[in-house]
């Protein structure tokens, strides 16, 4: 990074990685809980609670997989020329 020595740049990268890990760590159970409860609610409305819970859980896991994929894709991209 321009204007930073190696040690400062590494510390900044470590802090960013730590923040990303924390964001995903709390995001996973929250997304699964929200989608499962939404599935439960819809299941009650249509008369199939267990099917609603299973569908909600599957959607929650899909949301988690998307979040992990999004973060992995962001960190795998090489830096763009001219980007700071």
Whether the Cβ atoms of residue 4 and residue 22 lie closer than 8 Å to each other: no
Surface-to-core class of residue 52, CB atoms within 10 Å of its CB (0-12 exposed, 13-18 middle, 19+ buried)? buried
Surface-to-core class of residue 59, CB atoms within 10 Å of its CB (0-12 exposed, 13-18 middle, 19+ buried)? middle
At residue 58, the pLDDT reads 92
Our measurement of the distance from residue 8's CA atom to the centroid of its chain's CA atoms, rounded to an integer in Å, reads 27
| Cα distance between residue 55 and residue 36, in whole Å | 8
> For the chain, which residues score pLDDT lower than 70?
1-17, 75-84
| Cα distance between residue 6 and residue 12, in whole Å | 10
At residue 41, the pLDDT reads 92
Could you tell me the residue ranges of all domains in the chain? 23-73
What's the pTM value of the predicted model, to 2 decimals?
A: 0.61
| pLDDT tens sequence across 8-24 | 655 665 666 677 777 77
Q: Per the structure block, which two tokens stand in for 44?
A: 């009650």
């Amino acid at each position: 990074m321009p204007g930073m020595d190696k040690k400062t740049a590494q510390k900044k990268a470590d802090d960013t990685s730590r923040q990303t890990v924390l964001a995903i760590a709390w995001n996973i159970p929250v997304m699964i809980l929200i989608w499962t409860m939404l599935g439960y609610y819809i299941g009650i409305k249509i008369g199939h609670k267990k099917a609603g819970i299973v569908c909600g859980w599957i959607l929650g896991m899909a949301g988690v997989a998307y979040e992990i994929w999004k973060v992995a894709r962001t960190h795998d991209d090489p830096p763009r020329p001219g980007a700071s």
